[in-house]
Amino acid sequence: MYIETERRRYERVEEPVCTWLSFRTDSAAYGTLTVDVGMEGARFETHRRVAVGEHTLINLQLPSSSIECKGRVCWACRGEDGLFSFGVRFLDLREVERDWLGRHLNQCVLA
């Protein structure tokens, strides 16, 4: 029997946040929406092939502010629709950005 355990410290909220992703391996910026987002990371979908361990620059466009941080891809898989789904851990959120993100997530939960 297989039992999956949650390894995240913070709950994720299914919230579409407009995001720009830039990867070290190419010069393009990819616009996408978060599938879910939490205090330590987010899940995205894109047509670009993504590899576990790959680093990215993330620019989350919250309604009241913009958050830019580095991230690392923790998992990735290709869906039946051809899109790549992947989870990114935020690596260097500043305290003020953490506060903005926390307020945004709290508003989503209360809505």
**For the segment 30-58, what is each residue's pLDDT rounded down to a tens digit?**
999 999 999 999 999 999 999 999 999 99
Please state, rounded to an integer, the average pLDDT across all residues of the chain.
88
d(CA 21, CA 111): 27
How many CA atoms are closer than 13 Å to the CA of 61, on its beta-carbon side? 8
CA-closest candidate to residue 39, choices 21, 60, 56: 60
- Look at domain 18-110 and name its CATH class: mainly beta
Higher pLDDT, 109 or 29: 29
**pLDDT at residue 9 above 70?**
no
Task: Give me the pLDDT at residue 2, please.
Answer: 40
Q: How confident is the model at residue 75 (pLDDT cuts 50, 70, 90)?
A: very high
User: Would the CA dihedral through 104, 109, 110, 111 be positive or negative?
Assistant: positive
CA-closest candidate to residue 14, choices 32, 40, 34: 34
* String of DSSP letters for 74-96: EEEEE-TTSPEEEEEEE----HH
Which residues, 6 or more positions from 55, have their beta carbon under 8 angstroms from its beta carbon?
A: 23, 24, 70, 71, 72, 73
